[in-house]
A = this chain, B = another copy of it.
Amino acid sequence: MTAMATDDGVRTDRGALAVALAEARAGRAEGGIPIGAALVVDGEVLAVGRNRRVQDASPILHGETDCLANAGRLPASVYARATMVTTLSPCDMCTGAILLYGIPRVVIGENRTFLGGEELLRSRGVEVVVLDDPACVELMRDFVAAEPALWNEDIGED
């Protein structure tokens, strides 16, 4: 089973996840780390992003932060209606970015290959939905097996 966009488009969490997963796959095709994200506001995708550590030689462009950067400067009232959709459980940095901007809802493709700041998000009142999507798990499992050093670099480990 893979995440598929449906006729509901991004109005369903699985439809929105398909958009983020397409970003993750595009990143992998570029030689990058396959994690993607989408910022959904009022049932529309406001921006997408993907991890660009390899592509841009950047340690701060994770899927979620690249997505926020691509969304540009927004008023707090827009973040307050947003859902951050990400293929992988958000790391401490991306957790913090979600908290900074008061994004009230996070949809996560999977947290089997990496568990980030879900507990902190929930403790601060953020709704966290984990879809446990097999396609997201498979993409990361294959990547981590193929590129363990690159993956460790991305999460600050040796």
State in angstroms the CA–CA spacing of A76 and B49 once bound together.
Answer: 25
A65 at the interface (CB under 8 A from B): yes
Query: How far, in angstroms, from A100 to B99 measured CA to CA in the complex?
Result: 15
Q: Answer whether A117 and B96 are a contact pair too, CB < 8 Å, given A59-B72, A79-B156.
A: yes
Name the residue on B nearest A79 (C-beta).
Answer: B156
Query: Which one, B60, B79, B155, B156, contacts A60 given CB within 8 A?
Result: B60
How many copies of the chain does the oligomer comprise?
A: 2
**Residue A71 at the chain B interface, CB threshold 8 Å:** yes
A62-81 contacts to B (CB < 8 Å):
65, 68-69, 71-77, 79
Closest B residue, CB atoms, query A71: B59
- Tell me if A139 is interfacial: C-beta within 8 Å of chain B: no
Which of B61, B69, B92 sits near A59, CB closer than 8 Å? B69
Q: Does A97 contact B (CB under 8 A)?
A: yes
